[in-house]
Amino acid sequence: MNGMTWLGSSQGLFGLHDSDRHCGSYLSVEDAAEVLGVPCSALDGLPREEQGGVAVVSETVLRRELQSRRITSPHQPKIGGASRSLDELVVMRLAQIALPGCSVEPQVPFGRKHVDIRVEWHGVPKLVEFVGPSRFIVSLGRTPSSPLARKQEVEDHFGYECVIWPYWIQRCTSNVTAMFDSTVTGLASVWSTTAHFGDFVYQRSADLILAVSNRFNAVRSDGLGYMYGSEHTDKPVHPIIAAIKRGEQGRERLVPKGPAQPIEFWLPKALG
């Protein structure tokens, strides 16, 4: 997820080889090393915690160490002038796991810009752009431009699909596969972000959310509220649910502008 200011406290354990069922802010040392393309010994000295008897490292630590180049990884933090995110490295590895024989290329240039990832599988290419909260919410006084405009710009240049991967779409093999197979059901999940749909600036935010979520078949028949809970994926229930129940937050934080759907469409069952 782009933008550290939007990250809440680290929670949950991500499973690189069981990513549909396990997502969160911590990686086992083995998974972190695999994502970064380094031996486990390269992560010696990093702050670690323990979850269920497993030594884990938080994404916050990994992002910091990667950007500072204190970890010597073949995945350099920049290609040219383009910075690479941890999300990019995770999804690149997931693509290699989920799509045997695929080719993956990071930071594909077009003009003076770059697209985060190009994945080709069975001769079909896709471009992937990761989109964090700053593309939906005013940040540092700057009003964002629509990710769909960026999608159109990229597709006009390359002539094939650019998939927008927003921060609420889970990093998992199902979502990677759904980019190529329309029969696969994807997943939406959030567990610690401080950015919510009700904060989005666009007057038709609901339509935008549905457009990018439906690309992964991640919208359920009863809506997107499931993304805050743990019924589909083993992860912590998002703390905003408890905050709303205590009256510290309003349900409107979870409801985007311009929805044609009933409010329950956007809420977890615990708040419906």
In a domain, 35, yes or no: no
In a domain, 144, yes or no: yes
Region at 261 (left for phi over 0; alpha for psi -120 to 50; beta for the rest): beta
In a domain, 10, yes or no: no
Asked if 256 and 213 touch (Cβ cutoff 8 Å), the reply is no
pLDDT along the chain (272 residues), means of 10: 56 94 95 94 90 89 82 70 81 97 94 93 97 88 88 97 98 98 97 94 95 97 95 93 96 91 93 78
d(CA 170, CA 232): 11
In a domain, 99, yes or no: yes
In a domain, 116, yes or no: yes
In a domain, 97, yes or no: yes
In a domain, 147, yes or no: yes
- pLDDT at 6 (0 to 100): 65
Whole-prediction pTM = 0.92
Domain range enclosing 220: 79-271
Domains: count for the chain = 1
In the chain, the amino acid numbered 7 is L
Asked if 91 and 176 touch (Cβ cutoff 8 Å), the reply is yes
In a domain, 20, yes or no: no
- pLDDT at 111 (0 to 100): 86
